[in-house]
Amino acid sequence: MKGYNKVEISGVNSFELPVLSAEEMRCLFRRLQAGETAIRETIIQGNLKLVLSVLQRFKNRGENMDDLFQIGCIGLMKAVDNFSLDHNVQFSTYAVPMILGEIKRCLRDNNYIHMSRSLKATAQKLQEIRELLLQKYEREPSVAEIASEMQISPEEVVLAVNAGQEPVSIFEPVFNDSSDPVNLMELLTDMENGDEHWLENIEMREALEKLALREKYIIIARFFQGKTQEEVARCLGISQAQISRIEKAALGRLRRYYTGQAMDKDGAGQQGSLPC
């Protein structure tokens, strides 16, 4: 049965990784802080599952999980080297943010989207100013307040904030249960080819077919081709006033069609072929 639970990452069988209790961890760190440096490897091995738990946040993002595991292990080692029992927190509480930060830092530094040095500097200074204003006002400062303090425009503040955001994969799970995760891509709407747009086009075609030929030509020329009433009048050889009257009547018929009323054809005139 053990084989069915085997999950290997970077050559490590996650099923066989040890799990240390809180008391065991305290004992090991006492020995480490007393100078028993060889015990460091035991602490690292006993907490590799912390790295695996952090990696769950990066699933379905197209990243190489073996690489992320190794980067996470670097964060784990830094946490081991910097942790002290005097922190009065469990090691896992201390280590997880460091592991997560190491992975995010690597992804940011190696991302295809790069910020200029000046924009990075602005984003960093913005965070410092935000913290200062947060303490001063005891509330979240507004964009205008941050911009005034930094002596830059509000647009530059927004740009710096957005540039510092980590890109989100369209395969990032938004809702996730044990059976059927929903990715961000599934929630995106295609404005050109969506069902609603497609149905609206069908309804519009059906409504236009109810118009007389000249009415249909005028509506298409005016509202789909962007022509002015004067341009349409020249094409049809009639006055702009007549175009305005026919257009108004045609729009009224279309409105009645969409409200479920019968459309009458009361004489805009079914012409033969139309110019333009």
User: How confident is the model over 188-215, as pLDDT tens digits?
Assistant: 555 454 445 555 666 778 888 888 888 9
Q: What is the pLDDT of residue 76?
A: 92
User: How confident is the model over 69-84, as pLDDT tens digits?
Assistant: 889 999 999 999 988 8
- Shared domain for 90 and 18, answered yes or no, is yes
What is the residue-averaged pLDDT of the chain? 77
273 found inside a domain? no
User: How confident is the model over 101-114, as pLDDT tens digits?
Assistant: 888 888 776 655 55
User: What average pLDDT score do residues 173-191 get?
Assistant: 54
Q: What is the pLDDT of residue 9?
A: 60
Q: In the chain, what is the greatest distance between 2 CA atoms, to the nearest angstrom?
A: 101
Q: What is the pLDDT of residue 158?
A: 82
Domain span at residue 11? Answer: 2-109
User: Percent of the chain at pLDDT above 70?
Assistant: 70
207 near 257, Cβ under 8 Å? yes
User: How confident is the model over 87-146, as pLDDT tens digits?
Assistant: 788 888 889 998 988 888 887 766 555 566 777 788 888 888 888 998 888 888 888 899
pLDDT at 253 over 70: yes
pLDDT at 216 over 70: yes
263 found inside a domain? no
Question: Which of 176, 182, 180 is closest to 56 using CA atoms?
Answer: 176
- Shared domain for 6 and 101, answered yes or no, is yes
Give the integer Cα–Cα distance in Å for 144 and 132.
Answer: 15
Helices marked H in the chain:
22-33, 39-45, 48-55, 65-82, 91-109, 117-137, 143-150, 154-163, 184-187, 195-209, 213-223, 229-236, 240-258
Q: What is the pLDDT of residue 259?
A: 75
**Which amino acid makes up residue 139?**
R
pLDDT at 258 over 90: no
DSSP 3-state of 272:
coil
- Shared domain for 63 and 36, answered yes or no, is yes
User: How confident is the model over 1-54, as pLDDT tens digits?
Assistant: 343 344 556 556 666 777 888 888 889 999 998 888 889 999 998 999 889 888
Give the integer Cα–Cα distance in Å for 166 and 64.
Answer: 17
Domain stops at, among 130, 158, 187: 187
User: What average pLDDT score do residues 223-244 get?
Assistant: 88
Q: How many CB atoms lie within 10 A of CB 91?
A: 23
- Shared domain for 166 and 233, answered yes or no, is no
Q: Which residues pair with 183 in a beta bridge?
A: 173
Domain stops at, among 187, 222, 243: 187
The contacts found for 244-249 with CB under 8 angstroms, 24 or more apart, are 246/214, 246/215, 246/218, 247/218, 247/219, 247/222, 249/215
Q: What is the pLDDT of residue 14?
A: 62
How many domains in the chain? 3
